[in-house]
Amino acid sequence: MEKSRLTRLLLQELSRKQSPGIARRTAPADTRAGALHGRPYSSNWQATSLEDSSSVCIYKVPDIMRRVEREAYEPNVISIGPYHHGVERLQAMEKLKLKFVRRLFDRNGVKLDVVRNALGKLEEEARICYSEKIQLESDRFVEMMLIDSCFIVELLREVWQHKSENQIPFIQRWMLPTFRRDLIMLENQLPFFVLSEVFQTTGRSAPSLQRLALHFFNPLLQRDFDTTPAKVVASEGIEARHFLDLFRSTIVPVMPARRRQPNMIRSTTELKEVGIKIQRAKHSQLLDVMYEERVLKIPPLYIDDYKGTLFRNMMAFEKCHRDCHPDVTTYMFFFDGLINSAKDVGLLHYKEVLQHSLGSNREVAKLVSRICREIDRVQEESYLYMVVDDANSYFSSSYAKVRAGVVRHYFSSWLVGLSTAGAIFALYLTLVQTASGIASALEPLRKVDFGSCLKDSVLLPFSGKPRSTSD
């Protein structure tokens, strides 16, 4: 309550500083927000049947997924939106938010009341974006939207303008990676139209909000904004619901064919045994996996401590949002099939398909397995169905089975392979020696008159003495 009081005092100070004589707004200036859905405005408004609304896009992660890795869905240091608003352990960053809010209005000359009134008109539309009822009263909800959206917009602008993190005001070196992780979480979102309203109202000559956001979040995939695919650069045309949806939209395939995929891809070790090569795909988006002539082409993936959070929240969004294809879920189950052990991780690392900073290949294998835990694979909508079917069809062929058997029994490791090669070489030498011995033994026989030998053999009982071969 004390922090909320300080926040309101700051907003009142900004209001008096910018617009003397204008009292703080306690209710929306009109009833347009209420008219949007055919009911009058109420300061204690609560939506009903939110889960049935087509506008819902920000969800509470299901408990069955949360139990696997709770930290992946709950912010570490900063709260955005109503779900984690007021949590005690996140209050330390509220002061930082207010510094960015003050800086935004001090530099732009925009009236605070103008932005607050604009967001007040969007209150009801914003409330129905959340899958659960928001218990905040009208003033508190609008205040929350104002502070959080202004903080985000100003932060994105500062990051865009400064090449070095050390030049960004109020920011320490450790903050930006942690902010990226928290601001991409499904439960820690504001509707994109709320951010767009603040961005346009406080607008300066700058790139679009989409470009600013992608420039901010691209380090999550070790993706350089200047070298990203055209889809990212042309992101202004993406109709995003929030930051997580925007970022996800830049990595999923564009209108691929989706069909049923009943089987998983074989592991990297098994594919290698049957002769399927794995190559690093160049100039491709992350999810663009291809299979051509026994070659599996996979764009490089970098795994670090934050990558699990990113993929888990994208998969949670796909599971909760009815109008969302499960492409990221399909992609992660594809990697889950490729990786059954630390050996598989090592093979992918050798092929430059998978890089990581988790300390060991075993940790990577565990992470990929945990990401897919307690999540049902959607078999009916796989965009990788053709890749998996083609690879598995070759895997089941007679030639592939014979080759796999030979590799598994005689070349399963470098030591076994060396022993096999040594045995083959020893067998070769034995055959050469045997052939030489036979040739040497046959050499005297070439001088023998076999007709005479046959005659002597027949007359031997009568002559009592064999004829000498030297005669």
Q: What is the mean pLDDT of residues 89-112?
A: 90
pLDDT of residue 35: 34
C-beta separation of 183 from 156 below 8 A: no
- pLDDT tier at 390, thresholds 50, 70, 90: very high
pLDDT at residue 48 above 50? no
* Helix or strand holding residue 458 (H, E): helix 450-463
The residue type at 423: A
Pairing between β-strand 295-298 and β-strand 277-280 as defined by DSSP bridges: parallel
Task: Report the C-alpha gap between 11 and 101 in whole angstroms.
Answer: 9
* Interval 155-197: pLDDT, tens: 999 999 987 888 899 999 899 999 999 999 999 999 999 999 9
Average model confidence (pLDDT) for the chain?
A: 82
Q: How many residues does the chain have?
A: 471
The residues, any chain, with a CB within 8 Å of residue 213's CB and separated by 6 or more, are 156, 243, 246, 247
The residue type at 30: D
> Percent of the chain at pLDDT above 70?
74
C-beta separation of 330 from 393 below 8 A: no
Global pTM value? 0.79
Neighbours of 317 (CB within 10 A): 24
Most confident range (mean pLDDT) of 162-171, 230-239, 412-421, 441-450 is: 162-171
Domain ranges of the chain: 2-249, 268-410, 414-463
pLDDT at residue 350 above 50? yes
- Hunting for tokens 């796989």 — which residue is that? 382
Neighbours of 111 (CB within 10 A): 16
